[in-house]
Amino acid sequence: MTDAANEMEPLERVPSGIPGLDAILFGGFLKSGVYIIQGTPGSGKTILGNQICFNHVSGGGRALYVTLLAESHARMMLNLQPMRFFSLAPIPGSLYYVSAFQLLEEQGLSGLLDVVRREVRSHKATVLVLDGLVAAEEVARSPREFKKFIHELQVLASVVNCTMFLLTNGSNNAHPEHTMVDGLLELTDRTLALRSVRELHVRKLRGSACLRGAHTFRITEDGIELHPRIEALLANPSTQDECEPKRTTTGSTRLDEMFCGGLPCGTTTMLMGPSGTGKTTLGLHFLAASTRKEPGLLFGFYETPDRLLVNAQSLGLDLTERVRQGDVEMLWQPGTDDLLDALGGRLLDAVRRRGVKRLFVDGLRGFQMATIYPERLIHFFTALANELRVLGVTTLYTAETSQILGTDVHAPLLGISSIVENLVVLRFVELRTQIYRLLSIMKARYTDYDSSIREFHISRNGIDLADSFESAEALLMGVARPEDLAIFPPRKGTPHSRSDRRK
Amino acid sequence: MKTILVVDDEFGIADTLSSILEDEGYRVITAINGEQGLARMAEVTPDLVIVDYMMPIKNGSEMLREMRKIPALSAIPVVMMSAVSEAVVKKECEFTAFLRKPFNLDAVLGVIVRLIGGPSSAPSA
């Protein structure tokens, strides 16, 4: 026999049709496998089972949904009706619903197996969902008999090329059938403090790698919306790091000069500072430099796109035109109850969809508020930064620091400054009843930079950064008199204005 | 007393309908699929059959087609039940009346009375 003849056919995949789930399973379930989906009541098993069926038949497959002790089919369909995946069209032609509970009561596991065999064959089903496995387990006279039933289902699945999903209530405690099946997925629904979170765990998957650990999901009008953990999904970046030695303008000529030619492409820059220092304004400058070749994206949490456009207009930045031309997209995340991985997924989808090269994230706090597990954040941002880098995206984040005035600067997230390549700090300084703004580059990888502190102000012309450190030095030494600030003279009518002094 | 055969695979539906119709004065026999339904009809000829469309082993339309081949059963009125629409089921078979699931008691009783009258209208065969 030749080597080719000796080789076994590779296992085909049966996608669930749920994008996040297929990503976790590296393409879907293995064909003709038998999988248990377990979870407490209300965790989403029935929706998942139905969604798999509907997706399967919409791809040309045929599905059989067998209920044991579960809600009536009519009630189930009424409850599924709001879901976008649901349609009566394939029923009963390619998706058939039957109940086998009475048969199970009358004839036991052998009767159940018999009817499953007959119905799978008569309907030529390539997917079977058996909803209510616990009812079958209760009828079994011993754990051995139940294991035998599962084994016979596996043989049937293999012989008739039908992928089977057995839905059951249950906990993660070991059950005899867990050792038999090809995979075990667990759905949980927990409350942590005031938030409820739904998670899917792949506890077992024969024949395939998978993304392990907990992955959050929601039940929406689209059914199960699963968001793989970003740091698991992007454990390895999706593509090669091209590492082009190009520069991207910050949108401010003087800031570009401080970076000796602009930001290195693909790097992440954090703009840190208290509220009101001008972080968002700098971000708008950055976005306003977007072009067709360098599309921009705002991923914001605070101000609405309309407000930001008005704000940009007041700074002399024509972002409205950039948006109209399609060079800039603004995505606003208003939710206060969002999921961290949903945010990450949404951001990356938007980046990939338009080939974004300039990303402005306003701000870090939006991600912090979305996480259930704060200790994840560093891993999340590391994975995100790595992926954005290989996609050639130059990113600006804003991060608010708590101290409004003063020289202390506390990083908003422990360890974040080690992830970002460039760190720019903005702060307020008070002198003689006036508040001034200062900017400094604290760190820049892959480039030389001007480490001097510069004064800047915000006007109808946007951000105006001093071309030298002198005014900032004078401010910080406390020796500057307002009239000495040649670049930024005090406003007329203030006590220290030159015109007043001449009087 | 009129006799009604209720055929439905779903647990609870056949039992519940049976209890309600017995309360109304009908005699009710039940089955959990089309094959069992035909077996029941070989023992007792009902005045009316209420049958679910989607069932294992033999579904409602398959059972109805076989009934039509048996002289003693061919004229019995059949009410088809389903969660899918009447138009879809009509493509498969001809029935006397249709009940869309989930149905309410008034709809069920209305159809029964229209087809065979009250429980004591005429003696069963």
Between vectors from CA A484 to CA A314 and to CA A490, what angle results, nearest 5°?
35
Q: Which residues of A10-26 are buried (b: 16+ CB within 10 A; e: fewer)?
A: eeebbbbbbbbbbbbbe
What's the start-to-end Cα distance of chain B, in Å? 10
Across the interface, whether the CB atoms of A75 and B102 are under 8 A apart is answered yes
| Rg (chain A; Cα; Å) | 30
Antiparallel, parallel or unpaired: β A247-248 and A263-264: antiparallel
Q: Which residues of B85-99 are buried (b: 16+ CB within 10 A; e: fewer)?
A: eeeebeebbebebbb
Non-local CB neighbours of A8 within 8 Å, separated by 6+ positions: none
pLDDT tens digits along A277-314: 999 999 999 999 999 999 999 999 988 999 999 999 99
Q: Are A82 and A50 in contact (CB under 8 A)?
A: no
Task: Map residue A494 onto helix, strand or coil.
Answer: coil
Residue B77 reports pLDDT greater than 50? yes
**Which residue, A161, A214, A132, is CA-closest to A14?**
A161
Q: Which of A24-28, A237-241, A404-408, B81-85 has the highest mean pLDDT?
A: A24-28
pLDDT score at A488: 54
Across the interface, whether the CB atoms of A102 and B83 are under 8 A apart is answered no
pLDDT score at A1: 47
Residue A499 — very low, low, confident or very high, per pLDDT cuts 50/70/90? very low
pLDDT score at B121: 67
**Which residue, A88, A74, A118, is CA-closest to A100?**
A118
One-letter amino acid of A126? T
Residue A10 — very low, low, confident or very high, per pLDDT cuts 50/70/90? confident
Across the interface, whether the CB atoms of A103 and B9 are under 8 A apart is answered yes
Q: Are A441 and A423 in contact (CB under 8 A)?
A: yes
Give the span between the Cα atoms of A126 and A53, in whole angstroms: 10
Average pLDDT over residues B83-108: 89
How does DSSP classify residue A179? G
- Interface A:B, Cβ pairs < 8 A: 60
pLDDT score at A495: 44
Antiparallel, parallel or unpaired: β A29-30 and A163-168: unpaired
DSSP letters spanning B71-84:
TTTTTS-EEEEESS
pLDDT tens digits along A179-227: 889 999 999 999 988 889 999 999 999 999 999 999 999 999 999 999 9
Separation in Å, CA of B122 to nearest CA in chain A:
33
Give the span between the Cα atoms of A437 and A454, in whole angstroms: 8
Who among B32, B85, B102 is closest to A103 (CB)?
Answer: B32
Average pLDDT over residues A81-85: 96
Q: In this structure, is the dihedral angle defined by the CA atoms of residues A19, A23, A27 and A31, taken in order, positive or negative?
A: negative
Which range (A112-126, A294-308, A378-392, A393-407) has the least confidence? A393-407
| Rg (chain B; Cα; Å) | 13
- B13: nearest CA partner in chain A: A72
| Average pLDDT, rounded, for chain A | 89
One-letter amino acid of A420? V
One-letter amino acid of B16? T
For the record, the structure tokens of A200 come out as 């899917």
Chosen for mutation from A64, A73, A91 (greatest number of chain B CBs closer than 10 Å) is A73
Give the span between the Cα atoms of A115 and A130, in whole angstroms: 12
Residue A73 forms contact with B (CB below 8 Å): yes
Q: Are A496 and A431 in contact (CB under 8 A)?
A: no
Task: Map residue A456 onto helix, strand or coil.
Answer: strand
Task: Map residue A271 onto helix, strand or coil.
Answer: strand
Give the span between the Cα atoms of A125 and A88, in whole angstroms: 18
Across the interface, whether the CB atoms of B9 and A75 are under 8 A apart is answered no
Across the interface, whether the CB atoms of B83 and A118 are under 8 A apart is answered no
Give the span between the Cα atoms of A414 and A483, in whole angstroms: 41
Chosen for mutation from B6, B11, B54 (greatest number of chain A CBs closer than 10 Å) is B11
Residues on chain B touching A119 (C-beta within 8 angstroms)? 56-57
Residue B32 forms contact with A (CB below 8 Å): yes
Non-local CB neighbours of A138 within 8 Å, separated by 6+ positions: none
Task: Map residue A130 onto helix, strand or coil.
Answer: strand
Residue A500 reports pLDDT greater than 70? no
**Which residue, A246, A278, A247, is CA-closest to A454?**
A278
pLDDT score at A110: 93
Separation in Å, CA of B123 to nearest CA in chain A:
31
Non-local CB neighbours of A118 within 8 Å, separated by 6+ positions: B56, B57
Residue A216 β-bridge partners: A199, A227
Across the interface, whether the CB atoms of A98 and B53 are under 8 A apart is answered no
Give the span between the Cα atoms of A19 and A442, in whole angstroms: 41
Residue A334 forms contact with B (CB below 8 Å): no
Across the interface, whether the CB atoms of A77 and B9 are under 8 A apart is answered no
Across the interface, whether the CB atoms of A103 and B84 are under 8 A apart is answered no
Long-range pairs, A9-12, Cβ under 8 A, ≥24: A11/A207, A11/A208
**Which residue, A501, A438, A450, is CA-closest to A474?**
A438
Antiparallel, parallel or unpaired: β A183-192 and A195-205: antiparallel
Across the interface, whether the CB atoms of A92 and B88 are under 8 A apart is answered yes
pLDDT score at A408: 64
How does DSSP classify residue A374? G
